[in-house]
Structures are given as C-alpha cells and as structure tokens.
Amino acid sequence: MTSTSQLSEEEINFTRFFLLNFKVSPDIARRFFDGVFPPAHLPQTINNRINDIIKLKKSKIINTVQFEILRSVPGTVWPPYLPPMPVGTKSTSSKDFDLTLVICLLRNLGGLATPINGWDKLPHPNDTVPGADLATLKWYRNDLAHATVTCMVSNEFTDKWTQVEKALTS
C-alpha cells in the first residue's frame, strides 16, 4: 500500500477532490433532499409518485440497485405485478441513496428549476438556482467516475474545488 508521503502533489490533489465528491457531496445533497422530501413523509412521497419512479426504471434513468433501494423504504406500496421483495431485505432510507439517485429524484420529482445549461452540462458560474448546484455536483462526480488520469495540477484542483465548494455551500 502506498502512503500519502509517496504520492505526488498532483495525486494528492486528485485524491482530495475525489473524496470531496464521493464522501462530502453525497451527504450534503442528502440533507438538501431530506429538506425537499422530509424522511417522515418519504414513503408517502414515493407512493404518490410510484408511476413516475417505475418510468424512470423502465427508461434506465435509475438502475436496478437504485430501484430496489427505493422499494425497500418502509411504508412504500408497490404494484402487485412487481416481484415481492426477498425476505430479510434491509429497510432503507435516504441515507442509503447515492448521489446519482438523490439528484435524479430531485430532478424528476422535486420540482426544481432546470439549470440554464440543462442538467447534463456544467452550469454557468452565474447560475444560482439549486438545480445548478446539483448539476455541478453531478458533473464532477461523473467526471471523476470516468477519469483515466489520477492526478490534478494545482490550478485545475483549485478551480474545480472552488466550484464544488460553492455548490455545496449554497
């Protein structure tokens, strides 16, 4: 195992940015999600939007794992044509939602204004709607998830960190 003292400054920058996006961002996005969809009312919200959620699954906007996490939220009632949940399935809550699912549900069920550049592009720095902040988090999460280079020069790190930090603190 490599110690951090053996990493270059560029590798440390990448690691710090990665942790910001995969550890900090999901927690803060979940807090925002819980404000829009309070945990006490999450089952009712899901039940009221089950047809929309099933459409998201059929159109492969949410994957099977994400769908099963939603189905495991206690108090949700799913159509009888879906297979029953296996015995012993763990109950879930928004704490089990990954960043992608949180943003997908906010985007599709939360009534948020679409960022000026849309949901799938890095928002303009002057776009201050909550959707733009979420789109920023989504953009950088996806960028890192598909990264082939695991280093980041200091200027790039500072610019990207500042954008994500702004989105997280808004």
What the block records as the tokens of 73 is: 């939220």
Q: pLDDT tens digit string along 105-123?
A: 999 998 788 999 999 999 9
| Tens of pLDDT, residues 123-132 | 998 898 999 9
Question: Can you give the pLDDT at residue 7?
Answer: 94
Domain boundaries, the chain: 8-169
pLDDT for res 2: 57
Q: Where are the beta strands (DSSP E) in the chain?
A: none
Each residue of 108-133: b (16+ CB within 10 Å) or e? bbbebeebeeebeebbeeebeebbbb
Q: Taking residues 123-151, report their average pLDDT.
A: 93
